[in-house]
Amino acid sequence: MTDALYTADIDMAPLKHWKLGLVGYGNHGRSHALCLRDSGAEQIKIALREGSPSRAKAEADGFEVVSLAEVAAWADAIALLAADEAHREIWTTAIAPNRKPGQALILCHGFSIHYRLIEPPADADVILAAAKGPGGAVRQEFEKGGGLIGFWAVHQNASGRARDLALAYLAGIGSGNVGIFETTFREETVSDLFGEQVVLVGGLVALAKASYQRLVAAGVSERMAYIDCVHEIKYLADLMQAQGIAGMYEAISDTAEFGARLIEDDIAGPELNAAFDKAMAAIEDGSFARKWVETYEAGNAMVEDRARDKTLAIEAAGADLRSRLYRASK
Ligand SMILES: NC(=O)c1ccc[n+]([C@@H]2O[C@H](COP(=O)([O-])OP(=O)(O)OC[C@H]3O[C@@H](n4cnc5c(N)ncnc54)[C@H](OP(=O)(O)O)[C@@H]3O)[C@@H](O)[C@H]2O)c1
Domain limits for position 280: 193-329
Q: Are residues 24 and 75 in the same domain?
A: yes
CA of 87 to the centre of ligand 1 (A): 9
What is the domain count for the chain?
A: 2
C-alpha distance from residue 48 to each of 31, 34, 70, 82 (Å) = 15, 16, 10, 9
Q: Are 213 and 169 in a shared domain?
A: no
Please report, for the domain that includes residue 114, its CATH number.
3.40.50.720
Shared domain for 239 and 290, answered yes or no, is: yes
pLDDT tens digits along 64-100: 999 999 999 999 999 999 999 999 999 999 999 999 9
**Among candidate residues 137, 157, 183, the one where a domain is terminated:** 183
pLDDT value at residue 1: 58
Q: Is residue 1 part of a domain?
A: no
Looking at the fold, whether 288 and 139 belong to one and the same domain comes out as no
Instruction: Return the H-helix or E-strand segment holding 66.
Output: strand 64-66
Q: Where does a domain end: 133, 150, 183? A: 183
Q: Based on the domain organization, do 145 and 231 belong to the same domain?
A: no
Distance 314 CA to ligand 1 centre (A): 28
- CA-based nearest residue to 58, from 69, 44, 72: 44
Catalytic residue among 28, 32, 87, 109: 109
**Ligand 1 centroid – CA 234 distance (Å):** 25
For residues 173 and 301, state if they share a domain. no
Q: Best substitution site from 81, 181, 302 to test ligand 1's pocket, by max atoms within 8 Å of Cβ?
A: 81
Task: Choose the final residue of a domain: 155, 183, 211.
Answer: 183
Q: What is the pLDDT of residues 223-270, one digit of tens each?
A: 999 999 999 999 999 999 999 999 999 999 999 999 999 999 999 999
* Residues 230 and 140 grouped into a single domain: no
Helices (H), the chain: 13-17, 27-38, 55-60, 68-74, 87-90, 96-98, 111-114, 135-143, 162-172, 185-195, 202-217, 222-226, 233-251, 254-267, 270-284, 287-297, 303-309, 313-329
Does the residue 70 lie in any domain?
A: yes
Known catalytic residue: 109? Answer: yes
Residues 162 and 199 in one domain: no
Within-domain flag for 256: yes
For 50, residues 6+ apart whose C-beta sits below 8 A from its C-beta are 67
At 301 the pLDDT is 84
Q: CB neighbours of 310 closer than 8 A, spacing ≥ 6?
A: none
Residue of minimum CA distance from atom 40 in ligand 1: 52
- What's the average model confidence in pLDDT over 295-313? 92
Question: CB under 8 Å, gap of 24 or more: what pairs does 202-205 form?
Answer: 202/279, 204/233
